[in-house]
Chain A
Amino acid sequence: MYKKIIYILIISVTFFSCKKLAETPLSFVEPTSFYQTKAQIEAAYAAAMNSVWSGWSGYQYPGIQYFNHDDQIGGGNLVIPNNFSADLWRRHYEAILNLNSAIAAMKSGNLGTSVDATTYDQLLGQALFLRGWNYFCLVRLWGDLPLVLDDTEDAIANPPSRTPVKDVYTAIIADLTTAVANLPAKWNDGSITKPTRDAAKGMLAKVYLTMATAPLNETDNYAKAAGLAKEVIDANTYTLIHDIDKVFTLDTRYGPEVMFTFTANYADGTMSPQVWTPPVLNGWGDFSVQPQWAEAYPETPRKDAYVLHTLNGVKYTNWPGTSTPYIKKYMYDTPEDYAAYRSVVTLPILRLADVYLIFAEADNMANGAPTQAAIDAVNKIIDRANGYAANANHPLATIGMSRDAFDALVIEERNQELCFETGDRWYDLCRKRILGEKTIEFYRQNFTDDDYLYPIPDNDIRLNQNLNQNKGYSMP
């Protein structure tokens, strides 16, 4: 009998000695075994843009929810709650994590000899452009930031403090300057939308212009902004579209005027176009235009191109189901796409018209009065808006204007030309410190200087004692 047991036990042990419990991933890779090829590096950039675009599209499309406290978009009343735009913060930092991972891998030689030096530089240039731009978005909205770069110690284990705005800009300039040096004037690998040298220059010009205004007010940056903007204009890589009603179309969404933009195709479409069309067009009307702003917008061909205020001769006040105007800039889907609730409409991040206006503003401020070059630059935009015809509602700038009058004119031109574009108006209101003055009267009582910065998200403050909250917001 006992033999039997012994046999069984021996067999049991022999058969049941199993392999170890170690796990080997099947359907994903670990960071240590990625970022080894050009394609893998660029896949990180695509993911970075995917993150940011996720923040800006959907019901946020085109980031309107984040900027509804400006004077253009209906809805915001300058009571900015805690945690406002926390998702945008998260999305930008997600992008930065992906970019930092790729940059660190490249710098540590992951790519080896698989790419030549030029390709390496161009790859690095793209990452730095994207990282610089991401921080540029963040610093304008939140001020001092936790600055996480590729060589920063593990930010989970070592909770950082907020880096002052000035030092964040130093990092942004470093990134964009290298990007300018590394990026090609044009991509010859079939890409239409990867950042180029001029896009980097234009972005850097915008950074300098912003630094010259609030909160840093480092006015010696005006000249740098003007210089770079001029270089971009003179390079003629990008050109203004002639007709105002052709600026926003399916054909022109990636150029020649658009310099850097979010992208979309039918595989990665954007939010159903109905989000911003009125019920009268079978839309959902989630976002509308502040009527006071639309009323103040001068009657020009540009108004008809950018703002949906009249439909078949009927003014918005008489449309059924609504009483506000809507955004027309992005209503260029084909009727078929519109009917099928799909859209490939994108959202430009930088376009040449912006660079013209950057030049005009910076040149005027640098020189203490508008130069002819500055006047020509802004007039290019005004003239196009007017359909190249004189318009008493919207006159051209003239020589002899004072510095401040010209500056106000340029800012107003930005307001009209760059309306609803990735928060541009909000940034202008903030850097020029004119939010209290420009917001509609109804909301003015709610304005305080604290509104110029958004609240640091509750989550991050709660998890990192080293972070302090912006003024005017409560600790979570």
Chain B
Amino acid sequence: MISQPNGKYTEKPCLPFIALSVKLTIILLTTLVLQVNAESYGRQLSINQKNISVATLLQIIKKQSDYHFLYDNLQVKEMVIRNVSVNNASVEDVLKESFKGLPLSYKIVRKTIVVKQLSETAVTISPSSDQPALQTETVSGLVTDANGAPLQKVSIVEKGTMNGTTTDAGGSFSITVQDKKSILVFSYVGYEGQEITVGNQSYIKVALVPAADALSDIVVVGYGKQKKSDLTGSISSLKGDDVTDLGTQRVDQALQGKASGVLVMNTDGAPGGNTTIRVRGMNSVLGGNNALVVIDGLQGGSLNNINPNDIESIEILKDASATAIYGSQGANGVILITTKLGRRGKPTITYDGFYGMQKILKTLPIMSGLDFAKTVNANKQSQNGNGFTPPPVFTDRQLDSIAALGFGVNWQDVIYRSAPLQNHALSIAGGTENTKYMVSGGYLDQKGIMVNSFYKRFTVRANLQTDITDWASFSVNWSAAKEQGNAPSFGSSGDVAFNQKPANSAPRWDPLQPIYNPDGSYHQHDPGYGAYDVWNPLASAVEPKIDNNTITNSLFASLDFKILKGLTLRISGGGSIGDVDNSTFSNLKTGQGLGANGQGIITRMLWRYYQNSNILTYDRYFGKHHLTLTGVQEQSSNYSKYERLTAENYATDITGNNNLGGAKRIVVYNSNSFRQLQSYMGRINYSFDDKYLLTASIRGDGSSVFGANNKWGYFPSFSLAWNVVNENFLKDQNIVSNLKLRYSWGITGNQAIQPYQTFATIGSGANYPYNGTDQTDLGYYVASPANPNLKWENTQQNNYGIDLGFFNNRLNITADYYTKHTRDLLMYRSLPNYTGYSNLIDNVGSMENKGIELMINGDILDKELKWNSGFTISSNKNKVLSLGEYERIPFYTSNGGYGIGDVDKPLMYLIAGHSMGEMVGYKFLGIWSTKEQAEAAKYGQLPGDEKFFDANGDGKINVDDIVVIGNAMPKYIFGWNNRFSYKGFDLNLLIQGSQGNDLFNIPRVRMEASYEGTSARLLERWTVDNQNTDVPAITDDLTRQAANLTSQVNIGFDNRSSRWVEDASYVRLQNVTLGYTLPAELIRRIHFKTIRVYVSATNLYTWTKYSGYTPEVSSYNENDASIGVDFSSYPQSRIVNVGLNLSF
């Protein structure tokens, strides 16, 4: 145990990366100068070589002389020298001879030779008199993209030779080739290569089309990049377009249905609200299952506050081969985001904006005022047990006037509205010879469909990359986001009781209640019937003054050094700082505020995350062998600070949180924590002949949050892949264009233990007025026993994959099968309560996830009408293997007032041998019919009463009859994305869905309760004439007494009934976007590159049996073991946007 005085952490953080970078640069430059000044002596040279590269030549010269070389441009090294034949020549002569016909010049400064590339436009290659047979034809031309915009730096090589050049800034090129039969190969990253036979042309115009062949794509992997064809692991890759095509303002939501193995749940519909993303199931109960988000190398990012237009690509690392490189943070998958950088050339200005409207998807059907009043009366008059029938709540006269009133107030219409949103993104991207940049700004302004809710987001990003010398470059990424939001409390979270949350209260307040009293104050429910304990829903919605602000700022800089051929070092460092400042004031018009005589809650959170990563990469081809070695040394730390202030009992409502001095009572809670991680990692990628690929890696993580006995953890992985398509036996066919088999194995960890959980602690805050005065006395309690053995969870994963491509990769199929086995699961191990403790966090359980993922993508049509269709389907099967000493562990979803999830009525369970997300309760079998009267009587029930499954057959329904009644985990999820284009038109259509998951619909419990409910379903209640229903009858007490039955249904106020469990499978038309791009020729005249207009509809239609607002919600997000409970979350909306993309 460590017990040192506080403040030790305030030592200078050990991440002086900026200072370091400066020093390194100085040292490198010094080294360089030393070399330049190195003493040397002249010598006559003899060289006889053909077709060698400039680099090779200079190497030879260097060996024979003592000259050193500097290049101003690395590309010149690869230029080919046809023939050098000199004897006893001076260096100058050799160079003169060799550089003949090449766009190169040189300058000799003492003993250093600086080789320079001539200005490209000035290149004219004249046939050399020495080699008349070789260079006979000169061809020039222009290379553009599909829209006619010139492309620069396109590589042009004469096929079969080393002869080549590149295009200039205007896209022009000129090359001298051997003869008319020569073939020119045009290639450019991200574009389809093209081959053109020179023939009689002297001017060749080429339009390159963007590469459809994804295999040549470069994929970002952990701490590096790889060609897609070299991948051995399982990675889902998305381009920025995949996100922006949807016209959405959120990156996380754009992932839905687009990447296999990735489950995205929009658990609430609030603007700026929550999304749960799970990669390949859920491994952890307590540790959290959020994937690690890495943005341009900086770990711990958030998907919420990133501008979708900034994104170049998103890679989701799924198997252990891909994620083990992140060691103790990799178990839940890793999402790598790369943001855009400009290209060389004049700046491109891009604008993308849309304006839209949101509308609630549906409202819950409720009774009219008259129906409600009649139901209240029926229920009231059933309370005649003492022989006296109570008078009806509403007299016949009142019923008449209610009938005249019409429907009454539909409170859902009172608190929900149509709400606009707009999003604007502007960026400038470009580059010069040595520098590339991208600067962007984004603004989102979204009103929520619930009154008094909105979300605004400002984002700024600046990316810069510059070559300092030919062996050093520098890049920096800065991004900042300011978010401001407001939403009345909803779901299960927060400080407000459920009956004061408008999402819960609005549908169950009866339509007879007026909104306001005649004096203009909010009406409160009439007592004695209905949901009279509920606060006025409109007051609950609009009166709280909520102001939530989050500012995040991230800066990450890298220095890249090319040390030797193939050996590069990247020193990078940076950090992010976040500041959350939330304030809520509840005035006397709110239930919350009245109880406390005005209540203000201010929450502040601050975090400082620093990261320093040093990556050494060695990448070389040795004949057919390709070897990449990566070594990483990394450290990070996170300091976080939380403050919460509750102020109550104000003399005035007016100043609220702006004058805390006006509050009589202020309670402050704060906590600070610090954690750090030190890591070493090594990786080897080896491939032979592009056929046999191997990756192996190991990472060691030392984390401060682990127990004293387990500070370091090691995470190995390896993977193998076989590019079968490159084997000779598949050479002579043109059907299969890609065939790769992959296998990987590895161990990853989840270090989401909170700091200090290994300590025995004394907690504060158990205050109590022990002395009986108005001043509360501080209470310090024994909070937890020590556990020095606490360690990370570890997940062992196997992955079997196959990649298939047909017809020149017009059709691609990727399939993966994986098994994940998580051990040392972090869980609260219960302690006997007589110890005074409830539990101890410990590594007790194990869990398994198995799944298959299939991705099919094809260009079904590729003529004038293009149709690209992509389908993903993933299925994950979770199984809790062991819970330590337990068979089952309940998860409380504290929820007084509904008879669900109280301490003694947990709804969700982890059960060994079952899947996560299991719900338990009484199995509801329907309503006893008159035919079943005799059987019902055995349970003391009458026809019209609820019928429950008597699991143990003892003739009684009680806690012993509790069985599994549902499961929240989907059996499979799928997405089907279609892109059509025809001339200037494009159409995007995304369908996605989830099948086989259940949702527990809590609000129905009270909405369908006969004593207060408003649900229209109550009109379908059981009667002798309407027996085919699942809504019980209202049976009066006298009838019951006359039947003289003793009820054997002893479940009390326990509503864990399968009656409320619904199938939440759904299929959703997630997005339809129709766009039109104006013809390039037309707009070029007005100096635009592109103009596209589009209409986009999100959440257009959902096919589901679920009766709540939306089948996707989950009100208990704090723990995955309790997902699948709908408790009045913020409903989702349908969004229709009209948008515009411009670039010039």
Contacts and interface: CB of A to CB of B under 8 A. Distances in A.
Given A1-B564, A32-B1, A43-B780, A49 B9 contact: no
A194 B768 CA distance: 12
Among B383, B569, B836, B958: residue with most chain A CB under 10 A: B836
B609 to A, nearest CB: 16
Contacts of B783: 28
Interface in A4-30: 4-5, 7-8, 11-12, 15-19, 21-30
Contacts of B771: 190-194, 263
Contacts of A463: 830-832, 885
Contacts of A146: 832, 834
Interface stretch (B20-28, B223-231, B275-283): B20-28
Contacts, number: 286
B1079 interface: no
B996 interface: no
Nearest to A16: B633
B522 interface: no
B71 interface: no
Contact of B780 (A40, A342, A457, A467): A40
B633 A12 contact: yes
A48 B781 CA distance: 7
B769 A32 contact: no
B59 interface: no
Contacts of B529: 320-321
A284 interface: yes
Contacts of B662: none
Interface of A: 1, 3-5, 7-8, 11-12, 15-19, 21-34, 39-40, 42-51, 53, 59, 77, 79, 81-83, 86-87, 89-90, 93-98, 100-101, 145-146, 148, 155-156, 159-160, 190-194, 254, 263-268, 272, 274, 279-280, 282, 284, 317, 320-321, 323, 339-342, 457, 459-460, 462-464, 467
> How big is chain B's contact interface, by range?
35 or more
A463 B844 CA distance: 14
Among B670, B674, B781: residue with most chain A CB under 10 A: B781
A209 to B, nearest CB: 26
A82 B785 CA distance: 28
Interface stretch (B82-90, B158-166, B756-764): B756-764
Contacts of A17: 14
A342 to B, nearest CB: 5
Contact of B532 (A46, A81, A193, A282): A282
Nearest to A26: B672
B834 A47 contact: no
Contacts of A265: 769, 773-776
Contacts of B885: 462-463
Contacts of B896: 59
B1025 interface: no
B1017 to A, nearest CB: 23
A34 B528 contact: no
Contacts of A29: 761-762, 780
Contact of B768 (A49, A320, A460): A49
A226 to B, nearest CB: 30
Contacts of B774: 265-267
Given A47-B781, A50-B781, A267-B667, A97 B835 contact: yes
B678 A7 contact: no
A26 to B, nearest CB: 4
B759 A25 contact: yes
A133 to B, nearest CB: 14
B770 A280 contact: no
A340 B665 contact: no
Interface in B777-796: 777-783, 785
Given A15-B16, A49-B768, A342-B596, A24 B779 contact: no
Interface string B518-535: 000000000111001100
A161 B705 CA distance: 35
Among A43, A87, A279: residue with most chain B CB under 10 A: A43
A86 B833 contact: yes
B781 A190 contact: no
A22 B2 contact: yes
B904 A156 contact: no
Contacts of A341: 591, 594-595
Contacts of B665: 266-267
A79 B785 CA distance: 36
B704 A22 contact: yes
Interface string B19-62: 01001100110010000000000000000000000000000000
Given A26-B9, A279-B532, A340-B595, A11 B24 contact: yes
Contacts of A263: 768-772
Contacts of B594: 339-341
Interface string B395-419: 0000000000000000000000000
A159 B831 CA distance: 10
B197 interface: no
Interface stretch (B105-113, B302-310, B385-393, B453-461): B385-393
A47 B779 contact: yes
Given A46-B767, A47-B768, A323-B383, A81 B959 contact: yes
Given A7-B31, A16-B635, A267-B667, A24 B766 contact: no
Contacts of B140: none
Contacts of A59: 896
A93 B836 contact: yes
A98 B533 CA distance: 38
Nearest to B386: A317
Contacts of B673: 26-27
B427 to A, nearest CB: 35
Nearest to B781: A47
Contact of A192 (B759, B772, B903): B772
20 contacts: A11-B20, A16-B633, A18-B678, A23-B704, A25-B761, A26-B672, A29-B762, A44-B781, A81-B959, A90-B833, A93-B834, A101-B782, A148-B835, A190-B773, A191-B772, A193-B771, A264-B769, A268-B776, A340-B595, A341-B591
Contacts of B388: 317
Given A22-B704, A34-B762, 9 more contacts: A8-B28, A23-B704, A28-B761, A29-B780, A191-B770, A192-B771, A192-B773, A267-B776, A320-B390
A28 B28 contact: no
Contacts of B659: none
Contact of B3 (A32, A160, A272, A460): A32
Contact of A460 (B383, B770, B833): B833
A336 B440 CA distance: 56
B764 A51 contact: no
B681 to A, nearest CB: 14
Nearest to A189: B771
Nearest to A11: B24
A46 B777 contact: yes
B671 A27 contact: yes
Given A42-B777, A49-B770, A267-B665, A93 B833 contact: yes
A311 B483 CA distance: 54
Contacts of A96: 836
A476 to B, nearest CB: 10
A342 B594 CA distance: 9
Contacts of A11: 20, 23-24, 27
A27 B640 CA distance: 11
B1050 interface: yes
Among A3, A267, A272: residue with most chain B CB under 10 A: A267
Among B833, B834, B840: residue with most chain A CB under 10 A: B834
Contacts of B11: 19
B374 interface: no
Contact of A16 (B14, B385, B564, B776): B14
Nearest to B593: A340
7 tightest A-B CB contacts, nearest first: A97-B836, A193-B772, A47-B779, A192-B772, A47-B781, A46-B779, A47-B766
Contact of B764 (A28, A42, A49, A83): A28
